[in-house]
Amino acid sequence: MIFKEHRLAQSGCLDRADSAKYLSISIRLLDTLVARGDLSRVKIGRKTLFRIPDLDQFIESRIERSEVKR
């Protein structure tokens, strides 16, 4: 895993900065995805975390499959 040494990654969660890196997007776009309801987050106090399985599911939902034309 990319963030193997990150202690949050060991718990299955990433903070906003690492989640944006994981998705290869900006933190601003990450916040937009949350605001639109496209991505779930976990709030613990003032900390915002993202579960790695949720990030992976988000990636999977964006896979575009090409259609074979005959």
pLDDT at 8: 58
Q: How far apart are CA 53 and CA 36, in angstroms?
A: 19
Distance CA(61)–CA(36), nearest Å, equals 15
For residue 35, what are its two tokens?
A: 């605001």
Report d(CA 29, CA 66) in Å as an integer: 26
Say what the pLDDT of residue 52 is.
Answer: 95
Query: Which phi and psi (to 5°) does residue 57 adopt?
Result: -65, -40
Q: pLDDT of the chain along its 70 residues, tens only? A: 455 445 655 678 999 999 999 999 999 999 999 999 999 999 989 999 999 999 999 999 988 887 777 6
Distance CA 43, CA 62 (A): 24
Domain range annotation of the chain: 7-61
Top-tier CATH class for 7-61: mainly alpha
